[in-house]
Structure formats: C-alpha cells, structure tokens
Chains A and B, each alone.
Chain A
Amino acid sequence: MKVVVCIKRVPDTETHIRISETGTDIDTRGVKYIISPYDEFAIEAGLRVKENMEGGEVSLLTVGASEAQETLRNGLAMGADKATLLRADSYMDGLGTAKALAVELKNSNAQLILFGVKAAGSDQQQVGPMVATLLDLPCVTGVSSFKFGDTVVICRREIEGRVEVVEADLPAVLTITKGEYEPRYASLKGIMAAKRKPLEEREASFNQSGIRIEKLSQPPTRGAGRILEDGPDAVPELVRLLREEANAL
C-alpha cells in the first residue's frame, strides 16, 4: 500500500518561545526544530502499515522553507522511503498549505494520506481535513489506531466519554493523535541510511495566504506555586482552597 505522511517542521516543544521584533513572528535564533510530535505518530502509523503488509511505500511530504529538508531526513531516518519538500518561503495559512499539498497528492496514487491531528506550535487543526476536501476524499480526524478491511480503513477515535469506531472507504485521509502509535527512535543505522534515500525539493505550486498574523505576545506568566503546611493538618485548608479559589471541586 502506498502511504503518504504529511509532516511539519515546528519549534521544539521544549523551546522557550520569544517573540521577534516585528511582533508577528517568533524569534528563531537558537530555536531547535523538530517534526511536530503528532506528525511523528502519523509517521509511526505509516511505517507500521508497511511493516504489517510486508510491502508498500511510505513517503513524506512537507510544505516549508528549505530548512525543512532536515525535518524530512529525520523522518527518513525513522524508516520512511522517500521525501518531498514543497518549498514555500513565506507564511502560509492552513488553506494555502492544503492547496499546495493537494496539488502534489492528486496524482500520487496514495491509498492512505496521514497527518498529525494538529501541528504543535500553531494548533490550527486545519490542514488534514482541508486536503481531504480539496481531493474529495473521506477524512477521519483524531484517530488513535486503525486497521484495514477489504477496501476500507477502520479507525478508532477516543472521544469524550466514549470510543467511536469509524469506517472509511479507501483512499482516505486520517489525522492521527496519541494512542497506538508511540513513535520509534531513529536507529543510528537509519540515520546513516537516510542520507542515501531520495529527497526531492520543488517550488510549491501554491504560496498564498488568506490569513495574516496581526500580533504575537507572550502569555501571562504563571504565578508561583504555594506550599501549605506539611502533613495531614494541611488537608482542610487545601480542600478549602481547591473549592473556593481554584473552583476545582
């Protein structure tokens, strides 16, 4: 089966984010970039499809600046077979990204197109469903695990208070969330092999954005924690505060 996993290069979730002087972007100096963690679930899911079916191909696709080649190579090191970078140098919103991806995916013959449920860092949760719409394919979001029937994919979604099982005709678009697919470590041999795998960079066929970021600012700093007395004597006060101040009870 041919699987395409769409991934995004994002600042490391451990990075301390600073706002750049323009006030509309983050300060990228000293920032380490990673594959968005949800996209790592998607890569893992794709690799397992290939392993379980003992065949097929997992390719990676991203829209971004040339630096995203490094991100793709990280995914190749995990075990994907090949990668394509659609270069877009200016900011793209969800729809712009989806359009660029859809042009590429249209003739890809992919049976399964995987995304992370959202990109860490921007949290928009748009691109997967938009790509599905543009390609007129069924889309299942927030999938924690899936398996295949004859011509369908059967997805498990863990939603508020229940588990939903959804069946979608293939080809399909899935967005993957934390669940079954704990991402593997890239082995050191995999890292060395990644250098030799095909990685293509092309101009994205679409690079426009209908949305502009007006302003970025730091969230308010969290106040310091408070320590009540030690031991059981502190419990009544703790319960009172949880009820009256934190409204947690």
Chain B
Amino acid sequence: MARFQGIDFYDLDALFSEEERMIRDTVRSWVEDRLMPIIGQAYHKHRFPTELIPELGELGVLGANLPEQYGCAELNNVAYGIIMQELERGDSGVRSFTSVQSALVMYPIYAFGSEEQRTGWLPKLASGEAIGCFGLTEPDFGSNPAGMITTAKQTSDGWLLNGAKMWITNGSMADVAITWAQTSEIGDVKGIRGFVVPTDTPGFSAKDQEGKLSLLASDTSELVLQDVELPDTAMLPGGSEGLKNPLMCLTQARYGIAWGAVGAAMACFDEALSYSKERLIFDTPIGGKQIQQVRLADMLTGITQGQLLCYRLGRMKDEGTMTPQQVSLAKRANCDMATNVAREARRLLGANGILVEYHSMRHMANLESVYTYEGTHDVHSLILGQALTGISAF
C-alpha cells in the first residue's frame, strides 16, 4: 500500500503551526517505516515491540509536553495530541505504552513529585531507559477507584504497601510503578496517595494478564504488593488531594486517547477507501456501490468531527481553559466513533478484513479496550450527565 498521507477533509493543516505539522510528519514517517512492518506479527504473537522503545525515546515522544530541563521535548499539547494520533494510527498498544509512560507516570512525577523524584526518574523515562506503569484499578474496583483496598500504612521509617492492581499497562516490563493506595480508612477519597515504587522492591510482583483478545501488542498485567516496604521519600509529596490526583493524571491520558482514537479511525478509513477502489465485484469496484459510499461517507464524517473536537480541545488545553468534562466528551465521542469506523471498515474489506495483514480488525479489537479504559463510555456519560444536571447518577 502507498505511504499513509493522512485524512484531512476540512484542511486542518491550515490551522496547525509549521512545527506541529513537522512533528506530525516525523512521527507519521516513523510509524510507517518502523512500526507498520512489524506490528501485524507483534500483534499475532501477543508481543509488545520492546525493540522500538529506545527509538521512541530518541524521537522524543515520551513525556513530550513536559519541560526540557527533565530531558523532554517541551511541546505544546496540540503537538502532543498529534503524536498520539499518529502512534495510534499504527497501533493502540504502542499509543497506550506512550500514554501511560507520559501521562500516567511522567506527568504525576512532574506534577506531584519532589525535585529528587523528578530528576531521578524523568530523564530516564524520557529516553526510554526506564519504563513506568500506573496502578489504580483493582480486581474489585474499576469504575469506582475510590473504594480501593490497596493500603499504605505508615511505619517508623516509611510505608508498608499491601494489595493488588489489575489491568495494568506496561506492568510486567516496568521499572517503576506509580501505585495508588489508601492511607486512611477504606473509602476515604482524601486518604488516597501515590507512591513511586521501584519494581525490584521485595514484595512487588507482576504477572501477565493471559487470554486477552484485544490490545495484544501491549503488556497488560496484574500487580501484587505484599508487604512492600518503602522509604518516606517514595510518596508523591504534592499529591495530597486524595483521589483527585490520580484523576488529574487520567485527564491527561484521556486527552491523548481522544486524539489517538482519531488516528486509529484514520488508519481504518484509509485502508477501507483504498480497498474499495481496488476490489472488483460484479465487475466494478465495490467503492462504486452506493452502500459502500454511504459507509465511507459516514466514516469520513465521524473522523472529521473527531479531528475538530481534538483540535479545539488541544488549543483550550494550551490556553489553560480546558475542563475535565470537555475531555470526557472528546474521549467518549471519539472512542465511540473509532470503534464504529473500525468495524465498518472491517466489514467493507469482506473476508480479507479478518486477516492480520489488513489493519482494521486489529484496530477494531484494540479499540474495545480503548473504549473501556480511562473511564468507560458509560462513565463519561455519567460525568457529562452530572455536569449537565448537577445530579450524580454513579
């Protein structure tokens, strides 16, 4: 297939700055040259392509919107979003890796960490020399993390952590786990604190989640913390607002996911469009049939709407006016759009659409995770519903 040229029906390019376009082109080329040739096999073999991590670091996509003094590229948030879009055009697993590293590991260390934690971890995380994961979800607490039962008890010289975390992206390969634990009574939202846990600390273990049918080119793991002893300095000192702190991280990550989902949808649309022009059935290309044209028109409409949402959201984030509810709307709308686009693209491709050589079904399966994590579609409905009516329906 020809190199991916992007989908830009409403000339958003005219709104991006030259640097934003250059960043897009660079990441797009990298995805085309380095990721696309191997992603099918990696997915098939249930393997995250770890060999690409140093390259991601060298490109500068890890923690790309954090300051240069910590080894990051200090890009604006639109550029950060564009990176997520381009990575997820390749695969949601690779975007998830980058999102977790950037928004859920580097961001909390930057925003809530001590200077020692920042200088100790951020440069290594930016270069990809160290990998991080974020442990919030537990086996019995998904959409309701406030109820978490992983505990952190103060000891004479530090903390003792006990509990388990589930569905943790990068969990098995991580060098450091940002772990959220209850320091007070179970259910006390103010008592939740973040800890920087080196994964070689005795009592910490991680195990691959087996049996996934989605996000196969990604490490999803269960973490067990059994009498994990940590020094005082392991707590994120700036994270004193309880559950609000991990939720602030989620806002960062959800922002990136809103862009990423558009990238996955673009990949599927691009594949479907070119296939529709080539595949001859009843002597004409299937793209010449009205049903397929409706399909393509619907896909393009969804993608264009998603792009405009992201663009505006990004500019608001850069201006400092973006609200978490606006992020919820974009995450919800774009993941929904992308799952639909991927499914319709897969259908347009007929039997070929179920093969790993084509990309739509991989995206379709991946996007079910993306739809679910970082607040399910339903949870974002409830966030918006509460914002609209003032009534919590959780």
Contact = CB atoms under 8 A, between A and B. Distances in A.
Contacts of A189: 60, 68, 73
Interface string B35-65: 0000000000000000000000011110010
Given A70-B18, A185-B59, A191 B30 contact: no
Given A14-B3, A188-B23, A188-B75, A73 B18 contact: yes
A239 interface: no
B19 A195 contact: yes
B362 to A, nearest CB: 23
Contacts of A190: 60
Given A70-B18, A73-B18, A185-B59, A191 B26 contact: yes
A186 B73 CA distance: 12
A197 to B, nearest CB: 13
Interface of A is mostly: helix
A186 B68 contact: no
B331 to A, nearest CB: 24
B2 A188 contact: no
The winner among B30, B68, B73, B83 for most chain A CB atoms within 10 A is B73
Interface of B is mostly: helix
A84 interface: no
A191 B22 contact: yes
Contacts of B29: 185
A73 B58 contact: no
Contacts of B64: 188
A217 interface: no
Nearest to B21: A70
Given A14-B3, A188-B75, A192-B75, A74 B22 contact: yes
Contacts, number: 46
Given A74-B22, A77-B22, A188 B5 contact: no
A188 B30 contact: no
B368 interface: no
Interface residues of B, number: 21
A187 interface: yes
Interface residues on A, range: 10 to 19
Nearest to A195: B19
B74 interface: yes
Nearest to A34: B25
Contact of A192 (B2, B3, B19, B58): B19
Interface string B136-165: 000000000000000000000000000000
A187 B83 CA distance: 12
B69 to A, nearest CB: 12
Nearest to A190: B60
A38 to B, nearest CB: 17
A201 to B, nearest CB: 15
A224 to B, nearest CB: 9
Interface string A168-194: 000000000000000001111111101
Interface of A: 14, 32, 70, 73-74, 77, 185-192, 194-195
Given A73-B22, A188-B61, 8 more contacts: A32-B5, A185-B26, A185-B59, A187-B59, A188-B26, A188-B64, A191-B23, A191-B26
28 contacts: A14-B3, A14-B5, A32-B5, A70-B18, A73-B18, A73-B22, A74-B22, A77-B26, A185-B29, A185-B59, A186-B22, A187-B26, A187-B58, A187-B73, A188-B23, A188-B26, A188-B60, A188-B64, A188-B75, A188-B79, A188-B83, A189-B68, A190-B60, A191-B19, A191-B26, A192-B19, A192-B73, A195-B19
What 8 pairs between A and B have smallest CB-CB spacing?
Answer: A188-B60, A188-B73, A189-B73, A187-B60, A191-B22, A189-B60, A14-B3, A186-B26
